[in-house]
Amino acid sequence: MKMKFKAWSGIFASAALVLFLGACSDDPTNPGYEYMPDMYRSPAIEPYVDHGEIRGRIQDEPKLKLSAMTPPSGSIPFYGTDSETVHLMLPYFRKPNVAFRETHGLFGMDLSILDEYMLAVNDVNPFKLTSKNAEEVLKKGKELYSYMCQHCHGENGDGQGPMVKSGAYAGVPNYAERKALSDGQMFYSIYYGKGAMGSHASQLSKKEIWTLVHYVRKFQNKDYGTFDASGKPIAAAAAAPADTTKMN
């Protein structure tokens, strides 16, 4: 009886050892055998997972399926509890004109029959520039401008970027000559696009666009973003023109 028990014990121990060693792998990217994956691996579809490659097997059909879906219209991402930041990132209240559906591919959006670009002339930059944050904001603005705008608008905002010089685009404005543009109109143009420029709403947050508006002001006035000893700005943003019908 004892001999049989020892024999069976040896068999079970050997089997357990083989199973244990078989679950191991010398591949640092391989977790080995998953005994109970449903206990710790969510069965839900993850938004940024390549469903065409599942456990080493390539499947062509799932590769064509979109997993990261567009959030429902009007939904608001969570931006923390700072009231100023939350207010700044709320959905943009101005809408693109109906013509933007064809000219800029803005399908599936709420459209307006009004020329809201012209209405934006009185919109001010809600992201205030102060003596405390000016250096950081303008530094961030330069960074955003360098990889989102410079290729067309030029390093100095003169409309002579590499894409223009190559002949690919024409009619890019010189920012120094557009002092009459209000903050709101610059924001509207970047957000929804204008002329040959497409919408950047999906590429830049509202805070980033307002940051770019501040940076563009530096092209129009080198003293913009500087303050005196009392914290008063030396140069304010350009005022909106009285006659907005002449703006383009």
**3: Cβ–Cβ under 8 A, 6 or more apart, which residues?**
none
Average pLDDT, integer, range 38-52: 60
Instruction: Name the one residue in this structure whose structure tokens are 């000559």.
Output: 177
Summarize pLDDT for 162-188 with one digit per residue, the tens: 999 999 988 898 988 888 889 999 999
The strand pairing partners of 97, in sequence order, are: 112
Residue 31 has pLDDT above 50, yes or no: yes
| 22-31, 36-45, 139-148, 209-218: least confidently modelled range | 36-45
Residue 184's pLDDT is what?
96
**Cα–Cα distance for residue pair 147/35, rounded to 1 Å:** 47
Beta bridge partners of 243: none
Top mean-pLDDT range of 22-31, 211-220, 237-246: 211-220
Q: Distance between CA 45 and CA 69 in Å, rounded?
A: 11
Rounded distance, CA 113 to CA 115, Å? 7
- The pairing of strands 53-54 and 57-58 is antiparallel
In the chain, at which residue ranges do the beta strands (DSSP E only) sit? 53-54, 57-58
Three-state SS at 194 = strand
Mean pLDDT score across all residues of the chain:
82
> Do 197 and 223 contact (CB within 8 A), yes or no?
no
How many Cα atoms are found within 13 Å in the side-chain-facing hemisphere of 168? 11
Per-residue pLDDT reduced to its tens digit, 205-230:
999 999 999 999 999 999 999 998 88
Q: Which helix (H) or strand (E) holds 185?
A: helix 183-192
* Mean pLDDT of all residues in 87-113: 91
Q: What is the C-alpha to C-alpha distance for residues 106 and 119, in angstroms, rounded to an integer?
A: 19
Query: Based on the number of CB atoms within 10 Å of its own CB, is 204 exposed (0-12), middle (13-18) or buried (19 or more)?
Result: middle
Tell me what pLDDT residue 80 has: 85
Confidence label for 43 from pLDDT (cuts 50, 70 and 90): low
Q: Is the dihedral of CA 139, 140, 144, 147 positive or negative?
A: positive
What percent of the chain has a predicted confidence (pLDDT) above 90? 45
* Domains assigned to the chain: 2-63 (no CATH), 83-246 (1.10.760.10)
Cα angle, residue 239 at apex, residues 233 and 241 outer, rounded to 5°: 170
For residue 27, give the amino acid letter.
Answer: D
For residues 60 and 218, what is the distance between their CA atoms, to the nearest angstrom? Answer: 50
Is the pLDDT score of 63 beyond 70?
no
- Cα(124)–Cα(119) distance, rounded to whole angstroms? 12
Model-level pTM greater than 0.75?
no
Residue 243 pLDDT grade (very low, low, confident, very high; cuts 50, 70, 90): very low
For the cut 80, the answer to whether the pLDDT of residue 53 exceeds it is no
Of the ranges 55-64, 109-118, 150-159, which one carries the lowest mean pLDDT score? 55-64
> Given pLDDT bands bounded at 50, 70 and 90, which one contains residue 67?
low
Give me the mean pLDDT over the 68-95 stretch.
Answer: 83
